[in-house]
Amino acid sequence: MNGKQMSKADRPAVMVAGMDAVRGRWALVGIGFLINLCLGSIYSWSVFVGPLAAHYTGLLGREVTTSEVLFPFSVFLACFALAMPLAGKFIDTHGPRAAVALGGLLTGLGWLSASVAPSVWMLYLMYGVVGGAGVGIAYGVPVAVASRWFPDRRGLAVGVTVAGFGMSALVTATVAGYLLETAGVMMTFRIFGIAFAAVLLLCAVPLRFPPDGWRPPGWQPPAVDTERNAAGDGLGQMLRSRRFYGLWICYFIGCCAGLMAISIAKPVGTEVVGITGGLATLLVAFFAIFNGGGRPVFGCLTDRLHPGRTAAISFLMIGGASLAMWAAPTVPVYIVSFAILWGCLGGWLAIAPTATATYFGTADYPRMYGLVFLAYGAGALVGPQLAGFIRTATGSWTGVFPYVAVMAAVGCLIALTLLRKE
């Protein structure tokens, strides 16, 4: 080109997975789905609760309660959320491949070290802290990759990517159930640790961000998106915006309500509506389908409507399902209501990352969404513990649902005011 800058037509075509980028980028979505399928194994934790309680009761010579072995679930999710913003700069500096490799190694180490944990407290540290941090480092990568490769269909791409996290329990709980029966609880931890580390390291290899300035042919970004990305101050701009605080509170409420539902799905089924333990376990796997499916569905709605309107719809559904469970706790109502609650939790894992990019751009996306994602960690700590407190105070799991309905009403009001379309 004789020293002249290449024109757009002269630039080499961007290829992904041996295909042109517009088609090949979907391969990265599939890889992101598989990564999240491994990372989301935390959602199968309820399958481990009984075997772990029995294991540590025999090991320690005292009764280890269900509450003690449920707590790693909250520790894991909290460390998961705390690691997200801390990993943001690492992702931008070292790239998606290195971040997933590091997160995958820590995730596998968390499961492996848990297999030799001599006490419940060491389980909190080895599985909850180490494994949770590994998931937190790796989780933001597929979301960031999808957001940058799909500026034109961001909600759908992010929704499909994170669907793997929600669908994980359908796969990992089934595999874990078989291994728990045949190999025992600690060997199951060991097998999962080796398998997750290997899969995540392999999935890390093809990950990359698009070249600067890349966009799908024929697609033009909205002027406001161009301005936000050019400003290069995404994090500072976000922290000065009322929308950030509205989004954070809405995300907290959506996750708190959803994680309450996940943590109590089986006991509500057996103690309130009177189904057998075996059926309740099968229904947990059934609800996981909605948790995964809710992500691309709400992602598409966010693309078509607007994050604020989509958030309001999710809260109306959460409130309606909760009131139905409070008023008429029957088997059909239980199945429909918990499918909605799990689906709406999954939906928030698509609404929030899409809204972050829509409102604040992608210039500093890993750190920005990391801060937003802290709302998920807060919901993980508060939701299950609040559900247990209400159960103790009221004497029944049905006492949880009026509180969830009130939270949903507050969330809907915030979504329609602070997140409204301008």
Domain ranges of the chain: 19-214, 227-422
Q: How far apart are CA 301 and CA 336, in angstroms?
A: 21
CA dist., res. 93 & res. 335, Å (int): 45
CA angle 339, 340, 341 (to 5 degrees): 95
8 A C-beta contact, residue 156 and residue 296: yes
CA separation for the pair 403, 122 (Å, rounded)? 34
The rounded distance, in Å, linking the Cα atoms of 252 and 374 is 8
Fold topology of 19-214: Growth Hormone; Chain: A; (1.20.1250)
Per-residue pLDDT of the chain (422 residues; tens, 9 = 90+): 444 444 444 455 788 878 888 889 999 999 999 999 999 998 788 788 888 989 999 998 898 887 788 788 878 888 888 898 888 889 888 999 999 999 999 999 999 999 999 999 999 999 999 999 999 999 989 999 998 999 888 889 999 998 898 788 788 888 998 999 999 999 999 999 999 999 999 999 999 999 888 888 888 776 555 445 544 557 888 998 999 999 999 999 999 988 887 778 888 888 899 898 788 878 877 888 898 889 899 999 998 888 999 999 999 999 999 999 999 999 999 999 999 999 999 899 889 999 998 898 877 888 898 899 889 888 877 887 888 888 888 888 899 999 999 999 999 999 999 998 76
Phi, psi of 20 (to 5 degrees): -60, 150
What is d(CA 325, CA 361) in angstroms, rounded to the nearest whole number?
39
Q: Is residue 310 within 8 Å of residue 256, measured between CB atoms?
A: no
Q: Write down the CATH number for the domain with range 227-422.
A: 1.20.1250.20
CA neighbor of 315 nearest in space, from 269, 361, 255, 357:
255
Interatomic CA distance for residues 32 and 53, integer angstroms: 34
Identical fold at 19-214 and 227-422? Answer: yes
| Residue 211 φ/ψ region, left for φ over 0, alpha for ψ in the -120 to 50 degree band, beta for the rest | beta
Residue 265: count of CB within 10 angstroms of its CB: 21
Q: Which residue carries 């929030």 as its tokens?
A: 352
Four-residue CA torsion sign, 217, 218, 221, 227: positive
